[in-house]
Amino acid sequence: MFTEELNKLLAKSLNCHHGRWENFFSSGDQTSQVALVSEHDVMAKTVYLLANPTQAMLVSHGSDWPGVRIFRKGHYRAVKPTFFFRSEEAGGKLPGKLMLTLSPPPIGVQDRLCDDVVQKAASARERQLRERARLARRRFLGAKAVKAQSIYRSPKTPTPKRGMSPRLACRDKWRRIEMLGRLASFVSSYREKREAFITGVVGVVFPAGTYQMARQYGARCEEL
């Protein structure tokens, strides 16, 4: 439900900003939410995310990325855009600003060291990518050119179709197999309980981790 509300508000506000009326997100793709099983997996995906603009040959250093790039723990003020949302004085229901709090990621080091460890790992990855680009004689687009691109441009290479959409990431083979088994059991149990709930069976208890049925319809759930 959180992702639904977030994506809906993003789409409406940015369509308003650009004067668009069509779908903002692709209608054929579902949101991908991947569970990170271990501390190593959290670290790997964090580094991948921070180094992604460099891997995509957009900027040579992640710090040059002209978009949002926040990873250090702390408090950040988020201000409501005025081009779409009404102010509180004009009857708007959303507050004018909120504080976004980022906590240290669970990567197996002390909280006070997290920022430096992540930064060093991301910088090392970016150096590898810059060297790869140098050997291939490829040039980075650059932050200025990134900002100058039209929102109507699209990649020239075709989009992969019918690929896998993973629900979890885990480099440990046997633990991944175990977690996939748990996920399959949850899905099977959820479907069974949902069918019973819809048909009016009294006392249905959904498996632990069920969210929407509990939040929206008051269904009972097992305790974790």
Residue of 24, 71, 32, 28 lying closest to 49 (CA atoms): 71
Q: 97-102 and 168-169 as β-strands: parallel, antiparallel, unpaired?
A: unpaired
Top-confidence residue, 148 or 163: 148
Give first-to-last CA distance, the chain, whole Å: 21
CA angle 8, 13, 18 (to 5 degrees): 125
* Coil/strand/helix, residue 116: helix
**What pLDDT was estimated at residue 37?**
93
Average pLDDT value for residue range 188-207 = 93
- Provide the whole-model pTM: 0.82
Lowest mean pLDDT among 56-60, 84-88, 97-101, 139-143: 84-88
**Cβ distance 104 to 72 under 8 Å?**
no
**What pLDDT was estimated at residue 216?**
86
Average pLDDT value for residue range 128-152 = 94
Q: What is the mean pLDDT of the chain?
A: 90
Lowest mean pLDDT among 41-55, 76-90, 115-129, 148-162: 148-162
Question: Which of 96-100, 131-135, 161-165, 181-185: highest mean pLDDT?
Answer: 131-135
Residue 155 — pLDDT band, cuts 50, 70, 90?
confident
Report the percentage of the chain scoring pLDDT > 70. 99
The conformation of residue 72, written as its DSSP 8-state character, comes to S
pLDDT > 90? residue 90: no
pLDDT in tens, 101-138: 999 999 999 999 999 999 999 999 999 999 999 999 99
User: How far is it, in rounded angstroms, from Cα 62 to Cα 90?
Assistant: 39
Residue with tokens 């175990």: 178
Top-confidence residue, 113 or 150: 113
Residue 82 tokens, joined? 């005025």
User: How far is it, in rounded angstroms, from Cα 155 to Cα 147?
Assistant: 16
Top-confidence residue, 160 or 24: 24
pLDDT > 90? residue 91: no
pLDDT in tens, 24-63: 887 767 778 889 999 999 999 999 999 999 999 999 999 9
Burial 45-64 (b: 16+ CB within 10 A, else e): ebbeebbebbeeebbbbbeb
**What pLDDT was estimated at residue 77?**
93
